[in-house]
Amino acid sequence: QVQVVESGGGLVQPGGSLRLSCVVSGTFVDIRDMRWYRETPGQRDLIASISRRGVPNYADSVKGRFTISRDNAKNTVYLQMNSLKPEDTAVYSCKADVGRREFTGGTTYTFYWGQGTQVTVSS
């Protein structure tokens, strides 16, 4: 089994910062891409992703304000969020592309989601 757990959400004032974490645990052999999404009623957007080698990509809406990073030794991806705006309010979820060994010796990759963490930006 594989578990994905986010943490670090909360209430912050406009202009403030938060750091989200997402830890992958369980039985697996590899994690490829790790991604952060945010969800508001009726919409889910990919906002940042990072490859196994640490190459990041960002949505235009967060570029220059958010930074994604990962610690492969800890199976963890982070999202540092600065200069937060009320429109950043959402549930932030992590998705990881996790490889598990098959009995045949091959590796199968599957995306696993976390349960999400609420971020509220308000004065």
- Supply the pLDDT for residue 6: 97
What pLDDT, in 10s, does the model give residues 61-104? Answer: 999 999 999 999 999 999 999 999 999 999 999 999 999 999 98
Question: Each residue of 46-76: b (16+ CB within 10 Å) or e?
Answer: ebbbbeeeeeeebeeebeeebbbebeeeebb
Neighbours of 105 (CB within 10 A): 6
- Supply the pLDDT for residue 105: 85
What pLDDT, in 10s, does the model give residues 8-40? Answer: 999 999 999 999 999 999 999 999 999 999 999
Average pLDDT, the chain: 97
Distance CA 116, CA 4 (A): 9
pLDDT band at 118 (very low <50, low <70, confident <90, very high): very high
